[in-house]
Chain A
């Protein structure tokens, strides 16, 4: 699957809903729609996208750790225990 590009569109509304579910009273700065010229202003409006970025990076780290664990155990495939110990490191 490395040949095709990873789909990296963010499930933005889902990300919002997840946060909302954990923290009903917490608001995420509104996204998009408006034209934003200033850098800071644009930034402020893009929370869910950056949450998505953070999630991508989290999965990246998890994957790297799991891979390292699998290599250490001389395993050619990622097994549950590799991900479990990867998660413990993170």
Chain B
């Protein structure tokens, strides 16, 4: 019933000659798609706006945390170790749920290959492309 309210035809925006420097953001379409995939229920438009806001806040928080972790380790570069510590603190990575399992479960093959070199028959290891 909700879909009837939403107009399908979105007017194309005119190409503006002077682009305002916008804050970089994950495209709303992607956020919507991911959220919809997980929630498996209809979602109102306003609820999506909240999801977008939460995502924004999430990245702010993430940046703060990653800065704190890498700073604590005396680095200026965020490394995998920092992310693993963060995900442990978030309770996402545990002894029973190692990062590798999460990677295998959530990421497509091309990224898995990037993160986990795949051992094939024999002792050959296929590196990322």
Interface residues of A (CB under 8 A from B): 1-2, 6-11, 14-15, 17-23, 25-29, 32, 35-37, 39-40, 42-47, 49-60, 62-64, 66-67, 70, 76-80, 82-84, 87, 90
Contact = CB atoms under 8 A, between A and B. Distances in A.
B63 to A, nearest CB: 4
A57 B25 CA distance: 18
Given A14-B24, A54-B87, A78 B37 contact: no
A11 B117 contact: no
Given A49-B114, A60-B38, A78-B43, 5 more contacts: A8-B34, A19-B59, A53-B106, A62-B54, A63-B39
B27 to A, nearest CB: 7
B107 A49 contact: yes
Chain B binding surface, main DSSP class: helix
Given A50-B80, A62-B35, A80 B30 contact: no
B128 A36 contact: yes
A18 B38 contact: no
Nearest to B114: A46
Q: Which of A39, A52, A54 has the most CB of B within 10 A?
A: A54
The 4 closest A-B pairs by CB, nearest first: A17-B24, A22-B63, A63-B38, A63-B39
B73 interface: no
Interface in B39-82: 39-44, 46-47, 49-51, 54-55, 57-60, 62-64, 66-67, 70, 76-80
A18 to B, nearest CB: 5
B28 to A, nearest CB: 12
A78 B39 contact: yes
Contacts of A22: 59-60, 63-64
B51 A46 contact: no
Nearest to A28: B78
A26 B67 contact: yes
Contacts of A10: 111
